[in-house]
Amino acid sequence: MHQSSASPNLPIVFEEAVKAKIFKNAAIIVSNGAKVEYSKKIGTADFFDLASLTKPYATALLFAAFWSQGRISPDMKVTAILPDFKRFADVTFRQLLTHTSGLAAELPSAVEFRDFTNRAEKVYSESRSRRLSNKAYGSRRRSFARILAETKYEYLIRAIRDKSVIHSGNPLIYSDTGYQLIGRALEVIAGKPLAQAVTDEVYKPLGLETEINFFGIMGKTTPHDFRAARYFPFAVGHAGLFATPQAILKITQAIFNSAYGDQTTASVWKREVAIDLLRVMDKGRGYAFDFTSDHSTIPRGQCYRKAESFGHTGYVGTSIWIEPSALDRLSPRAILFFTDTAIVSDYENSQIKSSFNNVRTALSTWACEKFHPPTYPPLKFLLNPLGNIQENFPTEGG
């Protein structure tokens, strides 16, 4: 990536963050459909930790793929796939996808995640004894590290089932736990780990398996998010994905192509499913993206129009914000900001978090004003999931 000499200067707060060395690597891309209108790269990184962009660009997309295949649907109850989760009998996948199930953001602090090593050692010892007494078992040999990871992951799922907090009234609560639960349900449907399932069902068909994948398969370092790193090399549904910036733009374009294209090329998602991925659903959230919730204010900036644009953010600074074009529905405009903080352990420090949030807001405002000025009529199709999208796209000049 490069910066054109004729391109406008970046916001001052971004330049100040670079000088303060708050992050070592960063990538900025402003796009209009497949056309990159601006790009800048800082550092040497090509792959970035996506953190919570894992939710829309892995878990939600795999859900949509299985939905397109008739294997799951948003209005299906969680217990239809996970019958042991009886406490979730009234919870639907729509509620989990839109963070409106009332499920707490994370497990209670009282839940103990200790003594994994002792548990894993017991399982490893038992499996070793079986291998020694049964040569056929040798083909199922697992390393201690693998068993340790399995022990942690299975404990997480049991803890969500038995100890998670579900608030009444279905309030909007941004929940990592909800997406971990979706990830588990998708594994049950696929009959394989989440990382392999999303690769097989989404990334490979799009030709992107070398540009985006979970840390375990890619062999990259563990993610910054400690709740994802804890279960390495098992992927969980809320974080842990790595990708190039270009891969995210290609996937975004693929969703729009599936929703509004001519369907002459193979698509991972049915048209009606892809359209729903691009619409606001409940309390300002969509099935994949954030439209108008309180979380949307910072990455939307001060120029992109509320409810007519959408996106998502990730831990330690990653973000994408997208605005469909009223003149060309196959050319969404986007600002993508990827980074890896150099001060991960201090990210919860209010000054550092404020700096990242200021950068996100400034970049979105800058990209909108310089490259995507809001000169088009309202995009009503985003506000009305049941509306006829054909009638809501104006002709040029209208």
**pTM, two decimal places:** 0.87
The reported pLDDT for the residue numbered 131 is: 54
Task: Determine contact, residues 338/39, Cβ cutoff 8 Å.
Answer: no
The reported pLDDT for the residue numbered 313 is: 94
Residue 375 confidence class, pLDDT cut points 50, 70, 90: low
Residue 356 confidence class, pLDDT cut points 50, 70, 90: confident
Q: How confident is the model over 293-322, as pLDDT tens digits?
A: 998 999 999 999 888 899 999 987 789 999
Question: What are the structure tokens assigned to 284, written together?
Answer: 């300002």
Highest-confidence segment of 146-155, 254-263, 264-273: 254-263
The reported pLDDT for the residue numbered 348 is: 55
Phi, psi of 140 (to 5 degrees): -105, 15
The reported pLDDT for the residue numbered 73 is: 98
The reported pLDDT for the residue numbered 225 is: 79
Instruction: State mean pLDDT over 21-30.
Output: 89
The reported pLDDT for the residue numbered 351 is: 62
The reported pLDDT for the residue numbered 85 is: 96
Instruction: State mean pLDDT over 64-84.
Output: 97
* Separation between Cα atoms, residue 76 and residue 88, nearest integer Å: 12
The reported pLDDT for the residue numbered 380 is: 54
- The answer on pLDDT for 392 being more than 70 is no
The reported pLDDT for the residue numbered 148 is: 76
Residue scoring higher pLDDT (99 or 24): 99
The reported pLDDT for the residue numbered 37 is: 94
Q: How confident is the model over 100-126, as pLDDT tens digits?
A: 999 999 988 778 776 666 777 777 777
Could you give the angle at the alpha carbon of 311 between the alpha carbons of 305 and 313, nearest 5°? 125
- The answer on pLDDT for 239 being more than 50 is yes
Instruction: State mean pLDDT over 12-27.
Output: 86
The reported pLDDT for the residue numbered 303 is: 92
Residue 220 confidence class, pLDDT cut points 50, 70, 90: low
The reported pLDDT for the residue numbered 277 is: 96
- The answer on pLDDT for 16 being more than 70 is yes
Percent of the chain residues topping a pLDDT of 90:
54
Question: What are the structure tokens assigned to 133, written together?
Answer: 């007494």
The reported pLDDT for the residue numbered 382 is: 53
Instruction: State mean pLDDT over 158-175.
Output: 93
The reported pLDDT for the residue numbered 346 is: 52
Burial 303-313 (b: 16+ CB within 10 A, else e): bbeebbbbbbb
- The answer on pLDDT for 394 being more than 50 is no
The reported pLDDT for the residue numbered 219 is: 53
Instruction: State mean pLDDT over 325-330.
Output: 80
User: Which range, of 15-19, 328-332, 394-398, averages the lowest pLDDT?
Assistant: 394-398
Residue 149 confidence class, pLDDT cut points 50, 70, 90: confident
Q: What is the mean pLDDT of the chain?
A: 83
Residue 19 confidence class, pLDDT cut points 50, 70, 90: confident
* Separation between Cα atoms, residue 351 and residue 26, nearest integer Å: 19
The reported pLDDT for the residue numbered 221 is: 63
* Separation between Cα atoms, residue 308 and residue 10, nearest integer Å: 24
User: Which range, of 51-55, 74-78, 216-220, averages the lowest pLDDT?
Assistant: 216-220
CA contacts within 13 A on the Cβ side of 349: 10
Residue 143 confidence class, pLDDT cut points 50, 70, 90: confident
CA contacts within 13 A on the Cβ side of 381: 19
Residue scoring higher pLDDT (8 or 42): 42
